[in-house]
Chains A and B, each alone.
Chain A
Amino acid sequence: DIQMTQSPSSLSASVGDRITITCRASQSIRSYLNWYQQRPGKAPKVLIFAASSLQSGVPSRFSGSGSGTDFTLTISSLQPDDFATYYCQQSYTSPPTFGQGTTVEIK
């Protein structure tokens, strides 16, 4: 199975900050990388498909980049709604696997 490793595991930030979350795959997954946001007690919500394609309805402050093994999710200006846990997920091969998550907390 492909292992997905996110860093950091958690971070504290303020409204308006720019933050970046990193995801690394244990082997090349080309651009088959997706990002999800999960708020406490809720289901995950997809933000980005194929490393950089924003899902319809997702604010443009979210962006993704990368290919091969290294990927990033950037939030350009944190909003109160953005304090949540973020997961990367590879869809290159079965089984689909997720990173362990990055929790974004209010500073």
Chain B
Amino acid sequence: QVQLVQSGAEVKKPGASVKVSCKASGYTFTGFYMHWFRQAPGQGLEWMGWINPNSGDTDYAQKFQGRVTMTRDMSINTAYMELSRLRSDDTAVYFCARDVIQWGLRREFDYWGQGTLVTVSS
């Protein structure tokens, strides 16, 4: 069965960086784009970008350009999202989610990680 398991909660100071991992199992990791989202407390869902695990190509939302880096390690079927220069308004739950279509991009999401709470506080 498809599973996406994310790393644990993080507490960071303003200006620091955080790196969240998303380990995939139960399917061909390189065959499906991986997307990242975040959800601030009590707020809706915000798309941050995607990575093609096969090629390493990425596309980031304009809002996060210059601060976000998405990478992957094919040897351990894991995707990563690193956000730098953290601010208090980056406090949120961060999710990874798989695109629905193999070898393509449909921007529809069928499997999600459990979420990782990142708290930014001095």
Chain A, residues 40-58, CB within 8 Å of chain B (1/0): the string is 0011111001000001000
- Is the Cβ of A49 less than 8 Å from the Cβ of B108? yes
Q: A91 to B46, alpha carbons, bound, how many Å?
A: 13
Give the interface size class of chain B: 20 to 34
Residues of A that sit less than 8 Å from B by CB: 34, 36, 42-46, 49, 55, 87, 89, 91, 94-101
- Is the Cβ of B59 less than 8 Å from the Cβ of A94? yes
Within 8 A of A (CB), among B98-122: 100, 106-110, 112-115
Closest partner residue, chain A, to B112 (CB atom)? A43
Tell me whether chain A's interface is mostly helix, strand or loop, or mixed. Answer: loop
Q: B29 in the interface, Cβ–Cβ < 8 Å? A: no
Closest partner residue, chain A, to B42 (CB atom)? A101
- Is the Cβ of B61 less than 8 Å from the Cβ of A95? yes
Closest partner residue, chain B, to A44 (CB atom)? B112
Measured CB to CB, the closest approach of chain B to A1, in angstroms, equals 9
Choose among A42, A46, A100 the residue that contacts B44 (Cβ–Cβ < 8 A).
A100
Residues on B with beta carbons closer than 8 Å to the beta carbon of A44:
45, 95, 97, 109, 112
Residues on A with beta carbons closer than 8 Å to the beta carbon of B108:
34, 46, 49, 89, 91
